[in-house]
Structure formats: structure tokens, C-alpha cells
Amino acid sequence: MSLPTTKHALSAYYVLAPAEASSNLAKYDGVRFGSRSAGADGSPETNSVLFIKTRGQNFGGEVKRRILLGAYTLSAEAIDNYFIQAQKVRRLVQRDFNSVFSFPNPLLDPKPGPAPHDTIPDVIESVKVDVLVCPTAPTLPPTLEFLDEQDPVDAYMNDVFTVPASLAGLPAISVPVSGSLDRASKVLNGEAVGIQVIAQYGDDELVLEVAKMVEELSQ
């Protein structure tokens, strides 16, 4: 299967996701939604806003990072070069998935075309699948100590296999699979890895059926 645009999905996702997070979390200011920090908050002397202390205290480091990144990509000077371009990549990723699934996307109107006997389709382009099966992550499951020391960018890179389905709005599931062969057991050191199943939009039941098959085969 060829999904050429999915190599850009990770970059597009981490433009769109922080933008959505920044927009959605703006309401948690301690006045309308969310808890409020004790003591004085904003003051005219420091030109600070009313909820600066509340938001700074109640949001974790990763949340703050995404809010700042999302606020920038939605700003007037950056929205065209980042947010709009990422939305275009999102549509291209959806188009790539639609081209490989045997079931059409129910959200798209079928376009009239030539009858099958009028054309001779290319062999590669005619190959369609019901589901896609791929690894969930490019690395083995990390330890908690490793995650504490991991750079945020490296953590984002681990989402390279799961982001395309999320970006395209497709049903997907990760199934833990342990190595059953001796060689695989040595490589995996007895640890389970994730196998991801992706299907066309609306085929949630098919995803669950295939996931059950993968789980049974791994056992």
C-alpha cells in the first residue's frame, strides 16, 4: 500500500492538535470554568491578566507547551503558514486512505465515472484492502524512568504510526501482542508490543472484529 502523504501527518497533527487544545482550554480561567488559585492574581502594576496565576498553576508543562504552540499557530501572522497548510495536509491524508480502502468513505458523494469495462485499471492502483495493520509505535514500550527523561520532541515522534488515522478521522485500535516465537521472545524480552488496526470511516465494527482475530492469533 502506498500512503505518500502520511509522512507529513505527524507535523500536521502537532499543528492542529495544539491549536484545538489552545482554543478549547481558553475557557478554563478559574472564573467560568476550572479551579481558582488562592491569593491575589492579576494586577495593573504588572499588566497581567486576571487568570494568569490560575492558569499557570493548574496546567502541567505539556499542557502549557501545547497552549503556547496552538496560540501561535492561530495568530494572525502564522495561521496561513501553519494552521491552513496543516488542514490541507489533513485532507491529503484522508484522500490517501480513501484510495486504498475497498469500502468508500460514506461522507463523500460518489463521483460518476467510466464503467469498469471501459478502462483497464493499473494493477497497483486497483489493489484495495479492508483494513490496514501496522505497528502502534516504532519502539518497544518505554519505562516510566525513560519517559521522565525523554525530550518532548522524541515523545511526539512515537506517535508517527497512530497520528495518520487520528488526522483522517478513521477508526483504529491498538492490540497488545506478545512474541510467540523463541526468536521474537528474545528480541522483545517477553514484552508485549502494540499492533494497530485501521479501517475506513464508519467501519468500527470491522476494526473490533479484526482486532479480536489479531489478539487470538497472538495467543
Q: Taking 50 as the threshold, does the pLDDT of residue 115 lie above it?
A: no
47 shares its domain with 90: yes
Q: Is residue 135 situated within a structural domain?
A: yes
Average pLDDT over residues 9-33: 89
Domain boundary residue, one of 43, 77, 100 = 100
Query: 83 falls in which pLDDT band (50, 70, 90)?
Result: very high
Query: 132 falls in which pLDDT band (50, 70, 90)?
Result: very high
Q: Taking 80 as the threshold, does the pLDDT of residue 91 lie above it?
A: yes
Q: Is residue 147 situated within a structural domain?
A: yes
Q: Which domain holds residue 65?
A: 4-100
Q: Is residue 96 situated within a structural domain?
A: yes
Residues 147, 81: Cα–Cα separation, whole Å: 32
96 shares its domain with 135: no
Q: Which amino acid is at 84?
A: I
* Mean confidence (pLDDT) of the chain: 81
Q: How large a percentage of the chain has pLDDT more than 90?
A: 47
- For residue 212, CA distances in Å to 51, 71, 101, 177 come to 48, 41, 20, 11
What per-residue confidence (pLDDT) applies to 19? 95
88 shares its domain with 156: no
Query: 68 falls in which pLDDT band (50, 70, 90)?
Result: very high
Q: Is residue 119 situated within a structural domain?
A: no
44 shares its domain with 89: yes
Q: How many domains does the chain have?
A: 2
